[in-house]
């Protein structure tokens, strides 16, 4: 059986915390779909196209990774892409409580989809896209929190 996992998120921007979870999940599944959720209630800092491009560039040599965007319920999207697993990264206990509630609702909506939690590596536990966006908005250097491709792209955008 081909195991497909969806890693949903906004990835605005994709951080080293995200890539830590992705890299460590790769051996667990036959295919890992990075799903950039479009949330009408949020105004992202970076376009969906930009975020898809970043992830594609980071993982251009990894055939097990696919990148796409989606709208609507994550469990509905899982059915569309035949994913039986949802991957979620956990930094702190508060993350787990929030993510468990979502996993419980998803399980009630579709008992065939299982949520898998991976804790992030300690060196990435403080990295959150929200904080990284604040650093960028306020003119700080966020490169230490970002994959090289993303940091370089953001630097180039600042110059133009």
Residues annotated as catalytic (active site), given as ranges: 18, 42, 91, 129
- Cα-based distances in Å from 159 to 36, 103, 131: 27, 41, 22
Q: Which residues contact 25 (CB under 8 A, 6 or more apart)?
A: 5, 7, 32, 87, 116, 118
From CA 75, how far away is CA 66, in angstroms rounded?
Answer: 17
**Dihedral sign for Cα atoms in the order 90, 77, 31, 53:** negative
From CA 42, how far away is CA 4, in angstroms rounded?
Answer: 27
């Amino acid at each position: 059986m081909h195991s497909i996992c969806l890693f949903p998120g906004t990835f605005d921007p994709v951080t080293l915390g995200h890539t830590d979870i992705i890299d460590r999940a790769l051996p667990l599944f036959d295919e890992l779909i990075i799903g950039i959720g479009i949330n009408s209630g949020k105004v992202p800092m970076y376009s969906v196209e930009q975020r898809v491009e970043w992830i594609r560039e980071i993982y251009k040599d990894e055939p097990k990774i696919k990148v796409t965007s989606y709208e609507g319920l994550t469990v509905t999207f899982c059915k569309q892409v035949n994913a039986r697993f949802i991957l979620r990264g956990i930094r702190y206990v508060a993350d787990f409580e929030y993510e468990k509630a979502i996993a419980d609702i998803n399980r009630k909506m579709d008992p065939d989809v299982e949520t898998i939690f991976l804790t992030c590596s300690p060196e990435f536990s403080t990295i959150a896209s929200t904080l990284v966006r604040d650093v960028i908005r306020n003119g700080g250097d966020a490169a230490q929190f970002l994959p090289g491709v993303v940091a370089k792209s953001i630097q180039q955008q600042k110059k133009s």
